[in-house]
Chain A
Amino acid sequence: MPEVAREKPVAQDETLVQLLTPDGERIDRATGPDGTEYSVDFTDDEYRDLYRDLVTVRRLDAEATALQRQGELGIWASLLGQEAAQVGSGRALRPQDMVFPTYREHGVLYCRGIDPIMPLSLFRGVDQGAWDPIKYRFGLYTIVIGAQTLHATGYAMGITKDGKVGGDDGEAVIAYFGDGATSQGDVNEAFIWSAVYTAPVVFFCQNNQYAISEPIERQTRVPLYQRAAGFGFPGVRVDGNDVLATYAVTRHALDHARGGQGPTLIEAYTYRMGAHTTSDDPSRYRPQAETEAWQARDPIARLATFLRRQQIADDAFLAEVDEEARKTAVHLRERVLTMEDPAPGSIFENVYPHGSPLLDEEQARFAQYRQSFEGSAY
Chain B
Amino acid sequence: MAAEVLTLGKALNLGLRRALERDAKVVIMGEDVGKLGGVFRITDGLQKDFGEDRVIDTPLAESGIIGTAIGLALRGYRPVCEIQFDGFVYPAYDQIVSQVAKMHYRSRGLVRLPIVIRIPFGGGIGAVEHHSESPEAYFAHTPGLKVVTCSNPADGYTMIQQAIASDDPIVFLEPKRRYWEKGEVDAEAPAFPLHSSRVTRPGADVTVVAYGPMVRTALDAATAAGEDGRQLDVIDLRSLSPLDLSPVYDSVRRTGRCVVVHEAPSNVGLGAEIAARVTEECFYSLESPVLRVTGFDTPYPAARVEEEYLPDLDRVLDAVDRTYGW
Given A144-B88, A212-B39, also A347-B298 (CB < 8 A) = yes
Contact partners of B166 in chain A: CB under 8 A: none
Pairwise interchain contact B304-A183, C-beta atoms closer than 8 A: no
Verify if B58 is at the interface (C-beta below 8 Å from A). Answer: yes
Chain B's closest residue to A363 (CB) is B296
Pairwise interchain contact A344-B305, C-beta atoms closer than 8 A: yes
Give the distance to chain A from B74, nearest Cβ to Cβ, in Å. Answer: 20
User: Which of A43-51, A89-97, A124-132 is found at the contact surface with chain B?
Assistant: A124-132
Contact partners of B308 in chain A: CB under 8 A: 344, 347, 366
User: Which of A213-221, A229-237, A250-258 is found at the contact surface with chain B?
Assistant: A213-221
**Per-position contact with B for A63-103: 1 when CB-CB < 8 Å, else 0?**
00000000000110000000000000000000000000001
Contact partners of A180 in chain B: CB under 8 A: 59-60
Given A74-B127, A123-B128, A284-B36, also A183-B60 (CB < 8 A) = yes
Question: What's the Cα separation between A359 and B308 when bound, in Å?
Answer: 15
**Per-position contact with A for B218-257: 1 when CB-CB < 8 Å, else 0?**
0000000000000000000000000000000000000000
Question: What's the Cα separation between A348 and B309 when bound, in Å?
Answer: 10
Candidates A122, A123, A358; contact of B297 at CB < 8 Å: A358
Chain B's closest residue to A145 (CB) is B60
Given A144-B130, A184-B91, A348-B296, also A128-B302 (CB < 8 A) = yes
Question: What's the Cα separation between A284 and B127 when bound, in Å?
Answer: 22
Verify if B37 is at the interface (C-beta below 8 Å from A). Answer: yes
Question: What's the Cα separation between A313 and B53 when bound, in Å?
Answer: 54
Given A128-B129, A212-B39, A285-B35, also A341-B304 (CB < 8 A) = yes
Contact partners of A373 in chain B: CB under 8 A: 314
Pairwise interchain contact B298-A184, C-beta atoms closer than 8 A: no
Give the distance to chain B from A148, nearest Cβ to Cβ, in Å. Answer: 13
Number of A-B contacts (CB under 8 A): 115
Pairwise interchain contact A185-B63, C-beta atoms closer than 8 A: yes
Pairwise interchain contact B87-A351, C-beta atoms closer than 8 A: no
Pairwise interchain contact B36-A285, C-beta atoms closer than 8 A: yes
Tell me the chain B residues, 50-96 only, with Cβ under 8 Å from chain A: 57-61, 63-64, 87-88, 90-91
Contact partners of A369 in chain B: CB under 8 A: 315, 318
Question: What's the Cα separation between A367 and B127 when bound, in Å?
Answer: 25
Pairwise interchain contact A183-B130, C-beta atoms closer than 8 A: no
Pairwise interchain contact A125-B303, C-beta atoms closer than 8 A: yes
Pairwise interchain contact B91-A186, C-beta atoms closer than 8 A: yes
Interface size class of A (residues with CB under 8 A): 35 or more
**Per-position contact with B for A276-287: 1 when CB-CB < 8 Å, else 0?**
000110001100
Pairwise interchain contact A183-B35, C-beta atoms closer than 8 A: no
Candidates A214, A341, A347, A362; contact of B57 at CB < 8 Å: A214
Question: What's the Cα separation between A373 and B308 when bound, in Å?
Answer: 13
**Per-position contact with A for B108-148: 1 when CB-CB < 8 Å, else 0?**
00000000000000000011111000000000000000000
Given A74-B128, A125-B303, A342-B302, also A351-B59 (CB < 8 A) = no
Question: What's the Cα separation between A128 and B298 when bound, in Å?
Answer: 13
**Per-position contact with B for A244-282: 1 when CB-CB < 8 Å, else 0?**
000000000000000000000000000000000001100
**Per-position contact with B for A351-365: 1 when CB-CB < 8 Å, else 0?**
100001011001000
Give the distance to chain B from A218, nearest Cβ to Cβ, in Å. Answer: 5
Interfacial residues, chain B to chain A (CB-CB below 8 A): 31-32, 34-37, 39, 57-61, 63-64, 87-88, 90-91, 126-130, 267, 296-299, 301-306, 308-309, 314-315, 318
With contacts A218-B57, A347-B301, A347-B308 known, what are 5 further pairs, Cβ within 8 A? A74-B303, A75-B128, A126-B304, A144-B87, A211-B60
When A and B form their complex, which 6 residue pairs have the shortest distance between CB atoms, in order from nearest? A125-B303, A213-B36, A183-B59, A180-B60, A344-B308, A183-B61
